[in-house]
Amino acid sequence: MQDVKLRKLWAQAAEMLGGSRLSVVLPAYNLGAEIAGNLETTAELFERHGFPVELVAVDDGSADATRAELERFERENAGRWPHVAFKAVLLERNGGKGAALRAGFAASSGAFVMLLDGDLDIHPKQTPRFFEAMARTGADVVIGSKRHPRSVLQYPWHRRIVSFVYFTLVRFFIGLPITDTQTGMKLFKRKVLGEALERMLVKTYAFDLELLAIAHSRGAKIAEAPVVIRFGDKFGALKASTVRAMALDTLAVFYRLRILKYYNHVEVPPPLAAEPLVSVVIPCPNCCAYLRECLESLAAQTYHRWEAIVLPDEEFALDDDAGGRICVIPTGKVRPAEKRNEGIRRARGEIVAFIDDDAYADSHWLEYAVKYFSADDIGAVGGPGVTPPGDGFLARLGGRVYDNLLVSGNYRYRYKAGGIRRDVDDYPSCNLFVRRSLLEKIGGYRTDFWPGEDTLLCKDIVDSGKRIVYDPWVVVHHHRRALFGPHLRQLGRYAFHRGYFCKRFPSNSLHPGYFIPSLFVAGLFVAGALAIAAFASDIRALRLAASFAALPYAAYFALVLATTFSFNPAAWLISAAGVFASHVVYGIRFLQGLCASKAPCEFIGKDHL
């Protein structure tokens, strides 16, 4: 009797497909040989029931044999199952569950999409019950729920406690009418999932929560289905860093959903009529390991219509593994602005993408940026330049200082993958896409300033009536200068030109935040003078004034220690010192630029990585 009922459920699910197929997206990270067995189990299940399905397995930049196993499975099983198709999506670097599922969805084609964890802690044989729940309730989304009364769980007690606490917080802050968000099996109608993914920002721990919050906020109906989960002994204690990251991501979802109302008005560009050619312009002094790393990241792009124009000082031989798409044009020893202008002149693409030779791109860099150029009012697109995990200790700390709230304030989005999409009026050329026709119209980069030429380019773009859009998914990894010398030299030059531009080109430089470090330095001088006078005097009022003047600085140093906290004492103390030194150097150099009659623009070769 049970078998008859099950066959009916499978038949009902197949009928709901309406001649299409189910796409099952399986993200995998460091599963090794286990992934091939899980795929075979899944394929044989659907084939046994004659259920049309495509399995889209996504390797999220695994460090083990997962990629090789997926390639072998795809090669050895092509055409093996009449009802089962298979696609392997191989990401070069680990980007988190959100990035993996977006890549898998982009590679899928089914009218229904199931998200299923690649470790198969939830067996796909439960698929027809999800379709049955969708048909019975008229839902657009069906999620597995550990808290469903008919669910069967072999689940550690500490996980149950964490799950209950998290569920309580989600209900209170987010208001989702469901009992679980984290169970790794979910069924979506394709349109609903596509619309939600286009608005996603979280890439890691709270991905499932944000996905469901967006779908619900846009009117999708969500139903729950029971699941059978047997975790065994695979799960240990949750790490404190994981709990902290998930809490922060969850609060970010609450802020965007309830305070900003971001998901309801976020811009989703219309589809491109055709894929434009992108010319990637890379200025550099010479060939080095970083440049080769940059070019390798282009070869791994998911978007394939690109060419690269490398602009070194002198000619050098380059192994082109990109099918002749890389052109080397020596320019002599000139500044980056002149090199980029030469790249613009040589570009054949409709879009010119600028990246530094000491940066490398995420594998979806071109794909995520190009889509915005379907909107005529968008002239440029930028994204974050995050610190590579492989940088040296002091370089990583330099990135940590740039990412600090007290250093970058509202501009942290430049250095940190995250935040919301937004329009900006100034963006660095280490990660910037611009229409070639617009570059030609405004005359490219100005060559009378360095650095700061990208600030003036952005000013010209905005003055032309076009928008510059920031998208947190358009990611490059930008190698940092090490603390302290190289980092402070670079920061000091930026500060000088920002101070000079505040009076010369105020439209995108005259912002109050740029003045704060200088006010801080002035305050330090006043407080120091008061302290010296107080210790040299017996006047009680003067000593009292010096004591009060010291209070804001005590609060400042407490904030520095709080925002740079690390369990590594060396990283904590050096980062804190880096924040303080950055404020002092920026404040002084900004004032120098503000008072200068002209800004130097000489080439400084020694600072190049």
| Residue 261, CA atoms < 13 Å, CB-side half-sphere | 2
| Residue 9, CA atoms < 13 Å, CB-side half-sphere | 18
Q: What is the pLDDT of residue 252?
A: 82
**Burial classification of residue 423, based on how many CB atoms lie within 10 Å of its CB (0-12 exposed, 13-18 middle, 19 or more buried):** exposed
| Residue 366, CA atoms < 13 Å, CB-side half-sphere | 24
Place of tokens 């619309």: 195
Which token pair is 205? 């721990």
| Residue 498, CA atoms < 13 Å, CB-side half-sphere | 26
Check: CB of residue 206 under 8 Å from CB of residue 213: no
Q: What is the pLDDT of residue 294?
A: 94
DSSP state of 429: T
Superfamily of domain 2-265: Spore Coat Polysaccharide Biosynthesis Protein SpsA; Chain A (3.90.550.10)
DSSP state of 122: B
Q: Among 494, 444, 521, 506, which Cα is nearest to 599's?
A: 494
Low-confidence ranges of the chain (pLDDT < 70): 1-3, 153-165, 205, 230-243, 320-323, 526-550, 600-609
In the sheet with 22-28, reading across from the earlier edge strand, the strands are: 84-91, 53-60, 22-28, 112-116, 185-189, 141-145, 222-226
First to last CA, the chain: 71
Count, residues in the chain = 609
- Report how far residue 155's alpha carbon sits from residue 153's, in angstroms, rounded to the nearest whole number: 5
Strand, helix or coil for residue 140: coil
Q: What is the pLDDT of residue 545?
A: 64
Give the Å distances, CA to CA, from 222 to 141, 176, 188, 338, 503: 5, 9, 9, 55, 54
Q: What is the pTM of this model?
A: 0.82
Break the chain into its structural domains and give their ranges.
Answer: 2-265, 513-607
φ and ψ of 77, to 5 deg: -120, 15
Q: What is the pLDDT of residue 547?
A: 65
DSSP state of 479: P
Q: Which residues pair with 53 in a beta bridge?
A: 22, 84
Q: Among 287, 16, 42, which Cα is nearest to 140's?
A: 16
Q: What is the pLDDT of residue 239?
A: 63
Place of tokens 């009928």: 15
| Residue 260, CA atoms < 13 Å, CB-side half-sphere | 15
Q: Among 158, 223, 150, 152, which Cα is nearest to 187's?
A: 223
Q: Residue 112: which residues within 8 A CB-CB, separation 6 or more?
A: 16, 17, 20, 22, 23, 131, 187, 188, 189, 190
DSSP state of 506: G
Which amino acid belongs to residue 390? Answer: G
- Report how far residue 571's alpha carbon sits from residue 566's, in angstroms, rounded to the nearest whole number: 6
- Report how far residue 245's alpha carbon sits from residue 250's, in angstroms, rounded to the nearest whole number: 9
- Report how far residue 60's alpha carbon sits from residue 103's, in angstroms, rounded to the nearest whole number: 10
Whether residue 451 is preceded by a cis peptide bond, meaning omega within 30 degrees of 0, is yes
